[in-house]
Structure 1
Amino acid sequence: MSTAFESRRGGAQAAKTSAPPTQASSQASSQAPTHAPTQARTQARIGAPLPRVDGRAKVTGSARYAAEFPAAGLVHGAVVNAPIARGKIIAIDASAAQALPGVLLVLTHENRPALAEDDAAWKDQIAPGGQPFRPLGDARIRYAGQPVALVVAETPELAAHAASLVRVRYHSEPHQTDLGPVLQDAVMPSLEKGGFEPPPAPRGDAWQALERADARTDAFYSTPVEFHQPMEPHGCTVVPSADGRFTVYEKTQGVRNTQQYLMKVFALPQDRVRVVSPFVGGAFGSGLRPQYHLPLAMMAARSLRRPVRVSLTRAQMFTFGHRPASIQHVALGARRDGRLEAIIHEAVGETSQFEDFTDVVVNWAGQLYRADHVQLGYKLARLDVYTPIDMRAPGAAQGLFALECAMDELAVALNMDPLELRIRNYSTEDPEKKRPFSSKALLDCYAQGAERFGWGARVAAPRSMREGHELVGYGMATGIWEALQTGASVRATLDADGVLALASATADIGTGTYTAISQIGADILHMPIEDVRFTLGDTSLPDAPIEGGSWTVASVGSAASVACKQLRARLAQLLVEHGGVGFANLDADTLSEAFVIEHGEVCLRSGNTQGARDTGAATRIAIADLLARAGMKTLEEQVTLKPDAVRERYSMATHSAVFAEVRVDESLGQVRVARVVSAVAAGRIINPATAANQIAGGVVWGIGMALHERAQFDHTLGRIMNHNLADYLVPTNADIGDIDVLFVDEHDEFVNPLGAKGVGEIGVVGVAAAVANAIWHATGKRVRALPITLDKLL
């Protein structure tokens, strides 16, 4: 390990803490609220816990996913995957498959259509540096599970059977799928990947400060390969038309990214490719980049000139991007009063042999706490695996596990409460960028989360709490994630019936985008949310970024708010000019805030009708009549909004404080997470119900990361052995106790026009560390390698 990390290490010291069990108030934050009466709902929408507007479509089955769209003459493709981790194809015998009646095509590298030859054409919007993978590109095998053939048949069952008859002979070569043995070969990553922020230059001399510190901790931590495993497997339906156009129904987090990828790979103009993705059954980062089933389906559809559907099996969901394994070194040094003197955080992550995937793992350590001496390092080691891909809270999920466990160990060395240690090292500005935070209510997260959890009853000794045969432990950790915004476009159209149509080519991957954007429109136009229709997931709509990084509401929502404000201002002007006497005595600026829309009419609020009552004038008008008088059929505004330059003067982030209680069977080592309190500062919360759903889901992910999830490799074969949901363990309802989500008040006038920060990632960050710290508190055993399983505790 010495060549992968800076190897000057001091002695590690450990510390311990504990508290008596208490029952925190457990709010059912994930319960869907019911609609309020219509009159109340014509008031504020932003901040109201309204039910999901797409909920009925999902529970009734009318919501269509990528592999459910019907098409006349539809045929089905099944993928054949390579069993070796490295080598080449010697021969392919597809004769048995082709002999079956109903088998239409077997595509391999030998007979695939001509495709783009340069790497640039195969790079999607978020492709890392290196050479992107080309399905059926050549005879070379780069990883176990690589697609080597696509069998297309009249039915999915026939396609799957025929695929099992394809015989492939391989020449196997030596491979490496284990990160540990190649740490010495780790190198600095390429900076070609857009958005990768390399660790900043060292501040001071962290190693010297560590040596002179009054207390220190120095240890290695590891996290395994994890797979996304959403409920909906990846799949697509490609429908060609007689005029050479293609409609592609795809599971994706970015229809525009998918469209541009297909345009470049297949040399098609933009008007020949339309990508549609109205519903996504979970993606968590796996839908950020086009996966191999997409170009395979497109090849087959072009060759056969028939609609083709390719759906991956659950086992095949383990044959592309994943959260990369990491090995991390964290060393912390502090004065006797707890003030940090030195922070050293170095990490090695894995990537493929052909691309340089990078995670921001260590940068958080330099941003979260004050210290004069900081050294951060990040390297990549190449393995014979597919390129990793962003997975919910990429980098932060792994990095904060190591950092926050190290903070807990430092608190033990100092004989200090872990929460107090974090408070003493709280930073009022970004220590790395030397900028103030646009807002930071982390201290409120600490205070309110600790009170809700009952942290104050904690006593500082491990194994000091028990109930019956179970040891009880309390642990906590801090969370941080970027508050991002990027450019987005939204079209807002008000029709004669008083229906507001919002449109943007964004996605809803289960986060509640449909609902949040609808609420924003309803709030600004002062109208019932039932009269708002939001359309997304279609390349024919105004441009939008990939849904990822917790930036969708900040980006698309901000654009929607500006578009709706402009629409409202134009509507106010129409009222002054064409609304009649009841509106004419108000100027447009005043009127813009004085009317509501309901039942297809615009009417003045009750407090703004005195002048009209004095003259007997009407204070409401049908929108159809207003538009007719103006000679218009609809009122429309389209806005493309980019981040304000003021963002450059601040650091912007969401923060959280996570508190966890675990119960550990003393004899069996079985761990049960009894309850979690997650206190989050995320600016303005558009919908507390859907936002709490996101945080609760993130907590479940964090518990899975701590106790369950890992890909188990047979490194001799280079293959994943637990490629199913029976053996790849994820938390079930029986594994989850009470989850209490608390949003603290946080006002931010700089982050974006809405003042909102994303919550998709922050719910995961810190949870694994809080659980690990609670397990140490319960048992006195410090486990630094995830997941924490029975064998590590017994």
Structure 2
Amino acid sequence: MSETGKPISRIDGRMKVSGKATYSAENNFPNIAYAFPVRATIAKGRIVSIDDAVIQKEPGVIAVISYKNAFKLKPLDMQAQAKAGAAFLGENLPPLQDNVVHYPGQFIAVIVAETYEQARTAAYKLKIGYTSEKGAVDLKTELPNSEKPKMFMGEEAQVNDGKAAAPLAAASHKVEHTYSTPVEHHHPMEPHATVAVWEGTDKLTLYDATQGVGFTGSIAAYFLGLQKENVRVIAPFVGGGFGSKGLWLHTLLVAMAAKAVGRPVKLALTRQMMQTNVGHRASTIQRVALGTDAVGQLGVVRHHTGTYNNLTQFFEPSGKQSLVLYQAPQREVTYNVAHLDRSAPTFMRAPGETPGTFALESAMDEMAYQLKVDPIEFRIKNHTTKDPVKGHDFSSEFLLDCYRIGAEHFGWSSRSMEPRQKRHGKYLVGYGMATATYPGGRSAASVKVNMNAKGDVTVMTASIDIGTGTYTVLAQTAADALGVPVNRIDVKIGDSSFPPAPLAGGSQTTASIHPAALDACVLLRKELTALAIADPNSKLNGRNPDDIDHADGKLFVKGDNSKSDTYLNILSRAKRSEIEACATTLPISGAGLTIPSALCTPSQTPPEQNSDVKQYAFHSFGAQFAEVWVDEDFGTIRVKRFTSVQDVGRIMNEKTARSQVIGGVIFGIGAALMEATEYDKRWGNPVTRTLADYHVPVHLDVPPIDVHFIGKPDPHISPIGARGIGEIGITGVSAAIANAVFNATGKRLRDLPLTPEKFFDV
């Protein structure tokens, strides 16, 4: 029976709950020192003095490093960085290279001491003098001075600018409203941390909390002027990331400190630093307009986003789903991006789609209500099976099934069209739904598989497990491909010395590494088969390779299981202590987010399973359903139950997949009801500084979450047929909740989070 798809518990779970899994900050070495950064207290300006004479005499202080004495890094050079694989930065600001301050909280010095407490105490005592300028700290104030970027991540940013006006004016029905979302922060359970260990002057090992050991290694090698093979990055366990880990340059800060003091150095960011130094989701002001004909057929979709950035070209791409969902002859998606003197925004779980589906799917609900059409029926009427912009067929698409299955399990038929029709005691009860979507990405990846003479199998790749189940699912894939039990497979990941794999982001790990794992296992089986066929003592001697199958740790003749030979016997007779194979697979249309080295054998991808973005549009789809109870007296909103149905291709492990969707829905509940980072509008610093005041859902906030999968393999993304699932679960959640609030109360809330005071402002 196939191991793939089974709800196997995580093979690394016992290590995690018992404390045996080692995270970056838990690595210790003899003579290790501790680093603590000093952060800027102004929004914009220059450092004019650093009074470190007293700090140098503080107990345990080894070094005070600033722009005055820091190691000189290679300067920014986008062309050279791209060639070196180091262009993908969280912010274009190599640390401690000059005296310019770009945002509050910027790292401007680092204290190295014998203990963490000594470093932290000294850091708070360091006196910095500034010349300060007035910073740009408010999005609404700065939007009139914004720019319209031409490109975003290689795609046109301004799509059909100005072309929606005429069809909107001619539409029989139209809605146009502004929807806003706040700054949100990732706040994974494990803070960012790095330990730097130098070997001589030209070899560096980083134990880092990163979503991509290859990316982190390339960045460190480039800026420190090292050979890439001389930088090793190790991250076997990462306690969440959500897009925030791997692209930030505090790793360079630790490496610089370790080089300066000639000792291993550890740096662990505080929760407050995670508010200022490792990215966030930027706030958005989105204006969405929809126009239909008299019978409710969409004729035009317009989605404009106002947002900001700083020290990077990245901005929140909230119009992405509006280029994919629904059939409309004309659509316009545009952006205005302001500059704020705030730490650089970055990718955060489903960047673009998370705030974007709130706006689009709320507008779809508003239009359905105006037309007096059921929201699901309105979506079905305007459903498309092709990418509406590129015209490509979707590689695999079962969104209508998601609507149907979700409606059945949720009990949608009992929903009233008109608001305020259901009560439970003092609570108004409402039902809402929304569409979920996220791209189905795939990148190049390499995997090595080794089998020893005892039949134990080791699978190696530089991929990362950020809590999604990579260890387990990779073991399941190898178990099926080799016909050995899962408990005989040891998965080794999170080490840049292993065959390269893409960043664990963009929901593309499974789609990328599993085809490579499958091909490596096939290559290993082929070598075992060749050994058996050439061996006169094997029952498979002289057989045609095409006639041989595998199962239960052996090869056998198809249709005749008596003619078989075990892997162990084949290796024993060949006097082989082990056998090894390595494969690289890549999409037809390019390498995606990584370029593999020449470590492994490139695989020929069949044309019908090609991940060819020039022929197909690769997207996952889903449907989200929420029931809310609203206390009309206090404005409090409770999500009482939630149903999520997802079309994400083949399900590799039902248990870990369901957990990912549950996590995404909880993430979405947080975005809908409580998460927001507030800034002081005078100085620009965040005033929500910890998890005590940046609110996230806790157990009592989370209702029963009912998850279902279509489970049909995508025949074009890869031979595995699986697309990523880490991010789609959050998309559409906040809209489903907001739509349910309207159904309960008749009040339309368009500004996240949906906190009680906003309920009374409407």
Match of 2:687 in 1: 721
Cα shift at 1:129: 9.4
Match of 1:634 in 2: 578
Bigger drift between 111-120 and 98-107 goes to: 111-120
Question: Does residue 769 of structure 1 match 2:735?
Answer: yes
Match of 1:187 in 2: 147
Question: Does residue 514 of structure 1 match 2:471?
Answer: yes
Match of 1:154 in 2: 114
Contact kept, 8 Å, 1:128 with 1:355, in 2: the verdict is: no
Cα shift at 1:545: 1.2
Match of 2:94 in 1: 134
Match of 1:735 in 2: 701
Question: Does residue 420 of structure 1 match 2:377?
Answer: yes
3-state SS in 2 of match to 1:117: coil
Equivalent residue for 1:58, pick from 8, 16, 38:
16
Cα shift at 1:533: 1.2
CA distance in 2, matches of 1:103, 1:206: 62
3-state SS in 2 of match to 1:713: coil
Match of 1:201 in 2: 160
CA distance in 2, matches of 1:298, 1:130: 18
Cα shift at 1:359: 3.5
Contact kept, 8 Å, 1:81 with 1:149, in 2: the verdict is: yes
Equivalent residue for 1:542, pick from 492, 495, 499:
499
Bigger drift between 335-344 and 386-395 goes to: 335-344
3-state SS in 1 of match to 2:520: helix
Match of 2:600 in 1: none
Match of 1:344 in 2: 302
Equivalent residue for 2:628, pick from 628, 637, 662:
662
Match of 1:608 in 2: 560
Question: Does residue 67 of structure 1 match 2:33?
Answer: no
- State the one-letter code of the partner of 1:189: P
3-state SS in 1 of match to 2:728: coil
Question: Does residue 781 of structure 1 match 2:739?
Answer: no
CA distance in 1, matches of 2:190, 2:404: 39
Question: Does residue 330 of structure 1 match 2:330?
Answer: no
Match of 2:169 in 1: 211
Equivalent residue for 2:525, pick from 568, 573, 582:
568
CA RMSD between the two structures: 1.9
Question: Does residue 705 of structure 1 match 2:657?
Answer: no
Match of 1:595 in 2: 551
Match of 1:493 in 2: 450
CA distance in 2, matches of 1:499, 1:127: 39
Cα shift at 1:351: 0.2
- State the one-letter code of the partner of 1:705: A
Contact kept, 8 Å, 1:663 with 1:778, in 2: the verdict is: yes
Q: Deviations over 1:266-312 (max 9, x none)?
A: 111123211111110000100141x2421111111101110000111
Contact kept, 8 Å, 2:146 with 2:336, in 1: the verdict is: yes
Structure 1: segments with no counterpart, 5+ residues: 1-42, 613-618
Cα shift at 1:473: 0.8
Contact kept, 8 Å, 2:532 with 2:565, in 1: the verdict is: no
Question: Does residue 793 of structure 1 match 2:752?
Answer: no
CA distance in 2, matches of 1:64, 1:375: 48
Match of 2:412 in 1: 455
Contact kept, 8 Å, 1:104 with 1:153, in 2: the verdict is: yes
Q: Deviations over 1:309-339 (max 9, x none)?
A: 0111111111121111111110001123221
Question: Does residue 408 of structure 1 match 2:365?
Answer: yes
Contact kept, 8 Å, 1:202 with 1:373, in 2: the verdict is: no
Question: Does residue 673 of structure 1 match 2:639?
Answer: yes
Contact kept, 8 Å, 1:670 with 1:790, in 2: the verdict is: yes
Match of 2:606 in 1: none
Q: Deviations over 1:163-217 (max 9, x none)?
A: 11101122221111111111122212253x64555243369x4222212222111
Contact kept, 8 Å, 1:288 with 1:548, in 2: the verdict is: no
Q: Which has the higher contact order (CA 8 A, sep 6+)?
A: 1
Cα shift at 1:63: 0.7
Equivalent residue for 2:138, pick from 178, 181, 203:
178
The number of residue pairs the alignment matches comes to 735
3-state SS in 2 of match to 1:341: strand
Equivalent residue for 1:258, pick from 209, 216, 223:
216
Q: Deviations over 1:405-453 (max 9, x none)?
A: 0000001110111111000000021111111111100000000011000
- State the one-letter code of the partner of 1:154: E
1:312-327 maps to which residues of 2 (within 5 A)? 312-320=269-277, 321-327=279-285
CA distance in 2, matches of 1:620, 1:366: 55
- Given the superposition, is the C-alpha separation of residues 62 and 475 from structure 1 closer, same or farther in structure 2, using an over 3 Å criterion? same
Contact kept, 8 Å, 1:189 with 1:358, in 2: the verdict is: no
Contact kept, 8 Å, 2:90 with 2:344, in 1: the verdict is: no
Cα shift at 1:360: 2.9
Question: Does residue 88 of structure 1 match 2:46?
Answer: yes
- Given the superposition, is the C-alpha separation of residues 137 and 122 from structure 1 closer, same or farther in structure 2, using an over 3 Å criterion? farther
CA distance in 2, matches of 1:221, 1:325: 11
3-state SS in 2 of match to 1:763: helix
3-state SS in 2 of match to 1:299: helix
1:104-143 maps to which residues of 2 (within 5 A)? 104-120=62-78, 125=85, 127=87, 132-143=92-103
Cα shift at 1:57: 1.2
Equivalent residue for 1:281, pick from 225, 239, 253:
239
CA distance in 1, matches of 2:124, 2:363: 49
Q: Deviations over 1:701-728 (max 9, x none)?
A: 1000001111101111111001110000
CA distance in 2, matches of 1:607, 1:220: 66
So what's the TM-score if we normalise by structure 1? 0.90
- State the one-letter code of the partner of 2:469: G
- State the one-letter code of the partner of 1:720: P
Cα shift at 1:223: 0.8
- State the one-letter code of the partner of 1:770: A
- Given the superposition, is the C-alpha separation of residues 473 and 275 from structure 1 closer, same or farther in structure 2, using an over 3 Å criterion? same
- Given the superposition, is the C-alpha separation of residues 67 and 306 from structure 1 closer, same or farther in structure 2, using an over 3 Å criterion? same
1:428-443 maps to which residues of 2 (within 5 A)? 428-443=385-400
CA distance in 2, matches of 1:268, 1:126: 13
Q: Deviations over 1:484-535 (max 9, x none)?
A: 1111111111111111111111111111111111111011111100111111
- State the one-letter code of the partner of 2:399: L
3-state SS in 2 of match to 1:258: helix
CA distance in 2, matches of 1:131, 1:710: 22
CA distance in 2, matches of 1:690, 1:130: 29
Contact kept, 8 Å, 1:128 with 1:356, in 2: the verdict is: no
- Given the superposition, is the C-alpha separation of residues 377 and 128 from structure 1 closer, same or farther in structure 2, using an over 3 Å criterion? farther
Contact kept, 8 Å, 2:398 with 2:647, in 1: the verdict is: yes
Contact kept, 8 Å, 1:428 with 1:437, in 2: the verdict is: yes
3-state SS in 2 of match to 1:322: coil
Q: Deviations over 1:577-624 (max 9, x none)?
A: 338353337532222x24321xxxx364996325x4xxxxxx444x34
Cα shift at 1:87: 1.1
Structure 2: segments with no counterpart, 5+ residues: 590-609
3-state SS in 1 of match to 2:468: coil
3-state SS in 2 of match to 1:275: strand
- Given the superposition, is the C-alpha separation of residues 46 and 439 from structure 1 closer, same or farther in structure 2, using an over 3 Å criterion? same
Cα shift at 1:125: 4.8
- State the one-letter code of the partner of 1:264: Y
Cα shift at 1:263: 1.0
CA distance in 2, matches of 1:666, 1:790: 10
Identity %: 40
